[in-house]
Chains A and B, each alone.
Chain A
Amino acid sequence: MKPTLSAVKRLVLGLALALTVTPASARQINLDVALGTPVITAGKKQNAFLKVSLIGLEEEADRAPVNVSIVLDKSGSMGGDKIEYAKEAAIMAVNRLEPQDTISIVTYDSVVRVILPAQRVANKAHLQNRIRNISAGGNTALFAGVTKGAQELRRYLEATRVNRVILLSDGLANVGPSTPSELGDLGSSLGREGISVTTIGLGTGYNEDLMTRLAGYSDGNHYFARSASDLVTVFNNEFSNVLAVVAKDVRVIIHCARGIRPIRVLGRDYEILGQEVSVDLNQLSSRQEKFVMLEVEVPEGLEGQSRDVASVDVNYLDLKTQRNDALNGLAAVKYSGRQEEIRRATNKKVMEKAVEQVSNEMSKDALKALDQGRVQDAQKLQEKNVQLLKDSATKYDSSYLGGLKSEAESDADAFREVAPSMEPGSSAPASPMWNSKRKELKERQYKREMQQQY
């Protein structure tokens, strides 16, 4: 946990403006701490974005063993194509596993059945046969399904495994706890236990709030599969992510320097205690970038003056070496009076991500307003969002932000179209088009804030 000697040296020798800690060669993670605006206007209090970025390194051989539980909804609504595609997807997923991995399969309708208790992937044909025998019918005991899935995982629960429940649902939970907050609590508790829950919503009948919260609090992934035929791709992506996990229990602690006031972390759950901000990232896959975007308030300073902004500690469990490891980083700003210097120093990549996160927060607020029936507020928020993206795209000359702007514009159109069907104060409209749009929106927001890989 303590900074290694070499890391300390690097800290000392590091650049004054922004510093990157290069990890030792055996490391699985790259840490990049950067400010969006490393040079800021002198004589003025202002906000800055600090991006703490973690990148999983590419893994050639030996991946970590995985411990997966596939929890399939087999309620009545899953009948026909849906269950067939789901089975096909699960069968394909089994094919990608190896004897070191463990798998269990749980189905739920009104009740929960453990189709396949947790076991090593030894006889794939047998496993696949068991999956083929699943048929649909009944209610939706989602909570119990996830619980039993997690219980199966616990048989092989090890810190050095990738423990994941993959939940597929196409409907609303109606047996047992079924509110987003309850499922969120469950997710959070499972997350602390080292189990993450990936949720796959199929079609337009599921509760996207519940599914994103369950995934979010346990740091799993979330997918929206429009049609059953997408399931194979979704499962494939999910397994690519699961099979490539290189680090677990990733925890980022940002110590803000004196005078720097932490404002908020965009997107993620975080804890602020005095000057210390901590964020859990749980798992990181190879070639995946996850980051913490912290907005801070930097006090005014004199031209030419430098100021430390924050030091960053990252603790994680390296799945390859099966040891805990730590990384450190440091960030500082310089005050300047010359606009040109400030503009040139601006880190475009960081700002793009910062704007993306801010825009994502606005999009979430807009959706929330819409859910509460405040249609006009929602539309205004979305217009502001579009304006922000438009301005930022110009300011940073970013085609990426330009793309986000068109996306936000089409969202704004959707908000306008959906508006006439909404009474102020009433709950969300049930038009199928909006239903699908909302799910897509939730998925996108989720993927942005969690930096989901696929």
Chain B
Amino acid sequence: MKPKALIVLWLIVLTPLALMGWMGYERSVRDREMKHYQIQSLVQARLQSVDDLLHAWFESTEKELAQTIATLPDRPEKIREFLRNHPRLRQIVWYTPDGVRQHPPANAPLTDKESRFLERTLGTVPQPGKNGLAPFPKAAAPGEDPRARQGWFVWHSGTEMVHFFWMRDAVRGFTGLELEPTRLLSDIIARLPATGPDDGKTATPASRIRLIDSSGSVAYQWGLHEPAPGETALGLLPLSAPLASWRLEYFSAAAGADNPFEWLNLTAGIFALAVVLIGLGVYLYREHTREMRLAQQRVSFVSQVSHELRTPLTNIRLYAELLEEQLEEEQPEDSRARKYTGVITAECRRLSRLIANVLNFSREAEPAGKKLRRKTCVIDDLVRNVLTNFRPTLEARGIRIRFKPGAAHKVLADPDAVEQILNNLVSNMEKYATSGKRLDVESRQNGAATTLLVRDHGPGIPKKEQERIFKPFYRISSKLTDGVAGTGIGLPIARRLAVEHGGSLTLLPVETGACFKVTLHTPPAGETA
């Protein structure tokens, strides 16, 4: 009983804790995932807006460059002057529709820069064919329409990434503008935001966006958050063409780390709950053990006293019976004296039963062993015996006893145990169910099984109490039991005896009153001797 109660108590304490902890953990995981997702989409949106900004800028630049090509003069010296006035451009290459290189001039002296340009781009910038409309072979990104009239061509030369904007048409031929790489980067940086004032007033958590070039180094960054070395980016977005090998990285302090308070809250909650539950558990356990202890003390006290009472009681009973016989012989007519002795013996029997119960109950602590003392007996005789004993008191209360015998075979059984079971059942009936004015007892025998039914027609037992009444010291707390003396061990002992006897004691559902069913294992007496 004790370790079981402890386990139950611990379960009561630990289960909600574990449940809450698990739920808290689940929730925080979900929260984190949610938050992570939200942050991710926020980050992606921010990076996307940067990419959109650059994309829009490239588009407008394309228009400007197309415009630039439209205004391109045709004489080399004019083109050179033109270049001087266009700080974004490094060089211009132009093939007429019939495939002649107009600039840098194919048949006129070249400047150093122009010669270097031709060397640098040898094999990179194609020599268009006769119609001047040959596509940029390596140029075009995969999937680019070879008939496109304009586009970007990006190549890496050394550490530089060179952007080339080209156009072609039947009138002008093929024109390519080589952008000054550092100027292009500078223009991009100029379009990107600067870092705001460091006043700590901004509502959003400090962040840092980095523009990473194709070699993986930081080309530009902005934002107040200073990422620690090795800090991983929260978000990453490759830029769209023609900056396809570049990417954006997003760093932020607040979003990166878990909120420590979240865990604090959870642990604090669990801790508080644990304290409450453990307190409650300890209280319940102490209450429980106190009651148990008290009951045990009571029982052990009573059993000690009972031991002491047994000898004098036996003597009283012996002499009372002797007295009864004596009176019968000497004064058969004095019914009053006989009545007195009858009461004395009846009460002695009652007391014996009580003592037997108490001793039986305290025997529980004894090691389980052969407690039954089987003898050859007839169950019906035992029943009649018990009923005879109770008859005076029951009839005094106006209760009619009906016995329907059905177990007349000689069987091996412990008569003390059987009698005690019946005693307890009938004594209960006497205590609680006298209002029914009836006691029906029935016995049956079927092979090695004997069944006894004890039924009253009293108030019955409420459904929820039906199992608990078999527990020791449990007494239904109601008007029913008020003012009735009882030890609360009658039914448990009866059940235990029945179980020890290879059977059971159960409560049968009936419409009125209570019907106890006792089954016993009773091997026929002839087989074993």
Binding site for B on A (CB under 8 A): 106, 110-114, 138, 141, 143-144, 146-148, 150-151, 154, 175-177, 182-183, 185-186, 188-193, 271-274, 280
Contact = CB atoms under 8 A, between A and B. Distances in A.
A63 B394 CA distance: 136
Contact of B189 (A147, A185, A193, A271): A147
Interface in B91-109: 109
B372 interface: no
A150 B88 CA distance: 14
Interface in B174-216: 180-183, 185-186, 189-190, 194-198, 208
A176 B196 CA distance: 19
A156 to B, nearest CB: 15
A189 B182 contact: yes
B194 A114 contact: yes
A273 B183 contact: no
Contact of B190 (A150, A182, A185, A191): A150
B219 A271 contact: no
Contact of A141 (B185, B197, B221): B221
Contact of B112 (A106, A138, A271): A271
A175 B186 contact: no
B246 interface: no
Chain B: interface secondary structure?
mixed
A144 B195 CA distance: 11
16 contacts: A106-B194, A111-B221, A111-B223, A112-B222, A113-B196, A113-B197, A141-B221, A143-B185, A148-B189, A175-B218, A175-B220, A188-B180, A189-B182, A189-B186, A193-B87, A273-B110
A139 B470 CA distance: 84
B293 interface: no
A192 B220 contact: no
A165 B208 CA distance: 26
B182 A185 contact: yes
A111 B208 CA distance: 9
A280 to B, nearest CB: 8
Nearest to A194: B87
Contacts, number: 84
Nearest to B179: A189
B64 interface: no
B221 A177 contact: no
Interface of B: 77, 84-88, 109-113, 180-183, 185-186, 189-190, 194-198, 208, 218-224, 226
Contacts of B77: 273
Given A113-B195, A193-B87, A147 B186 contact: yes
A143 B186 contact: yes
Nearest to B190: A151
Given A110-B226, A111-B223, A113-B197, A144 B182 contact: no
Contacts of B112: 271-272
A177 B87 contact: no
A139 to B, nearest CB: 9
Contacts of B220: 141, 144, 175-176
A176 B218 contact: yes
Contacts of B198: 113
Given A110-B221, A147-B189, A193-B87, A182 B182 contact: yes
A183 B224 CA distance: 26
B222 A147 contact: no
Nearest to A191: B87
A280 B81 CA distance: 12
Contacts of B85: 192
Choose among A148, A175, A186, A190 the residue with the greatest number of B CB atoms under 10 Å from its CB. Answer: A148
A111 B182 contact: no
Contacts of B110: 273
Contacts of A112: 194-195, 222
A250 to B, nearest CB: 13
B182 A271 contact: no
Nearest to B220: A144
Contacts of B113: 271
A68 B110 CA distance: 37
A144 B189 contact: yes
B194 A185 contact: no
Contacts of A182: 182
Contacts of A141: 220-221
Choose among A144, A177, A190, A272 the residue with the greatest number of B CB atoms under 10 Å from its CB. Answer: A144
A177 B223 contact: no
Contacts of A185: 180-183
Contacts of A114: 194
A176 B188 CA distance: 12
Contacts of B86: 192
B243 to A, nearest CB: 15
Given A148-B189, A176-B189, A186-B182, 17 more contacts: A111-B194, A111-B208, A113-B194, A113-B195, A141-B220, A143-B185, A147-B189, A176-B185, A176-B219, A177-B219, A189-B186, A190-B87, A192-B84, A192-B86, A271-B111, A272-B112, A280-B84
B187 to A, nearest CB: 8
A218 to B, nearest CB: 10
Choose among A143, A147, A150, A185 the residue with the greatest number of B CB atoms under 10 Å from its CB. Answer: A147
